[in-house]
């Protein structure tokens, strides 16, 4: 029996509870509208894939460290409160990126997750500030001793997220994406752009879960390969959905990249080729994890099923 649906929902619910608690503790009466905009965007539903990857990798790391892994098969491990804070940090960073992506100067999208985008629900200035504040909150969460007692681990978490979101990660990838509106990118350039814009944060989420869970070097290598593979698979699945799904299904405008003249993996590979490539990447991601352990555990199965979910999702 698959463990993904119930555990994915549990991970999403507990991450949102953590976020709600964080917003409650950081509320400031001098800027209630800003806090409202932050909560509106960060608690506005979504799949919570990045949070699930953090928590899944943390649980696998904790389970793998146990002397007798066969004991783990009887129950699903607990990842700890620190891992939830890391998951919440990644969701804050992701929410910030969506707020700024939707702005008129970027993708100019009026809806997100089936609701008005932050700049539509509030205004552009508030949206920009809400994004900035969510980004800062993400790093505040990672640097807090409540997240991990070891300052070295906290520093590594900060570096992971900073590298994934800066000029060599998400922000740089968005810049390349904007340039693609005036110059068509080839297949290799598109892979680089998507690895930065989308894949970097997914990779950092998996690696951060491994870090907070105490993964050994061998497992970190496996987790890293898994993350790179599913990061590309995630974007290919997005490109497929952009062609096949409706705006109602996606909760945002569909077909925007095609309208802007941006080539997607569907253009390069064809629809059937894109579907096959995503499946191949998900399979290779699973093989990378299997190479790290000879045991089958619920923690391992969760990440394997998550890779399959990423390429088969309908939103």
pTM, 2 dp? 0.92
Q: What's the token pair of residue 16?
A: 């949102």
Residues in the chain predicted with pLDDT less than 70, given as ranges, are 1, 26-29, 67-78, 245-252, 254-258, 260-261, 294, 315
The pLDDT tens digits for 151-186 are 999 999 999 999 999 999 999 999 998 888 888 889
Contact (Cβ atoms closer than 8 angstroms) between residue 12 and residue 48: yes
pLDDT of residue 313: 83
Q: What is the CATH number of the domain that holds 306?
A: 1.10.600.10
Q: If we measure between CA atoms, which residue out of 250, 226, 239 comes closest to residue 305?
A: 226
Q: What's the token pair of residue 14?
A: 């507990």
Show the domain range for 175: 4-312
pLDDT of residue 20: 94
pLDDT of residue 181: 81
pLDDT of residue 70: 44
pLDDT of residue 296: 77
The pLDDT tens digits for 92-137 are 999 999 999 999 999 899 999 889 999 999 999 999 999 999 999 9
pLDDT of residue 248: 65
pLDDT of residue 38: 96
Q: How many folded domains does the chain comprise?
A: 1
* Residue for token pair 């539903």: 45
């Amino acid at each position: 029996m698959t463990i993904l649906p119930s555990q994915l929902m549990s991970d999403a619910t507990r991450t949102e509870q953590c976020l709600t608690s964080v917003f409650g503790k950081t509320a400031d009466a001098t800027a209630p509208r800003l806090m409202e905009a932050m909560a509106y965007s960060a608690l506005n539903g979504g799949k919570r894939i990045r949070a699930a990857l953090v928590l899944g990798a943390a649980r696998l790391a904790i389970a793998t460290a146990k002397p007798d892994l066969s004991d783990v098969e009887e129950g699903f491990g607990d990842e700890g409160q620190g891992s939830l804070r890391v998951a919440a940090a990644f969701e804050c960073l992701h929410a910030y990126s969506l707020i700024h992506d939707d702005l008129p100067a970027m993708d100019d999208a009026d809806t997100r997750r089936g609701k008005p985008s932050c700049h539509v629900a509030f205004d552009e200035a508030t949206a920009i500030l809400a994004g900035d504040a969510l980004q800062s909150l993400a790093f505040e969460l990672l640097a807090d001793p409540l997240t991990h007692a070891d300052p070295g681990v906290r520093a590594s978490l900060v570096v992971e997220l900073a590298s994934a979101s800066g000029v060599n990660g998400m922000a740089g990838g968005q810049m390349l994406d904007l340039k693609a509106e005036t110059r068509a990118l080839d297949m290799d350039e598109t892979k680089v752009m998507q690895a930065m814009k989308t894949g970097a944060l997914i990779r950092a989420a998996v690696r951060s879960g491994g870090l907070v869970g105490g993964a050994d070097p061998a497992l970190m290598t496996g987790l890293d390969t898994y993350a790179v593979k599913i990061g590309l698979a995630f974007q290919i699945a997005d490109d497929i959905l952009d062609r096949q799904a409706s705006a109602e299904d996606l909760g945002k405008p569909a077909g925007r990249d095609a309208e802007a003249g941006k080539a997607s993996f569907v253009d390069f590979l064809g629809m059937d080729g894109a579907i096959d490539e995503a499946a191949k990447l998900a399979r290779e991601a699973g093989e990378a994890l299997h190479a790290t352990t000879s045991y089958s555990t619920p923690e391992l199965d969760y990440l394997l099923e998550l890779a399959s979910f990423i390429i088969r999702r309908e939103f």
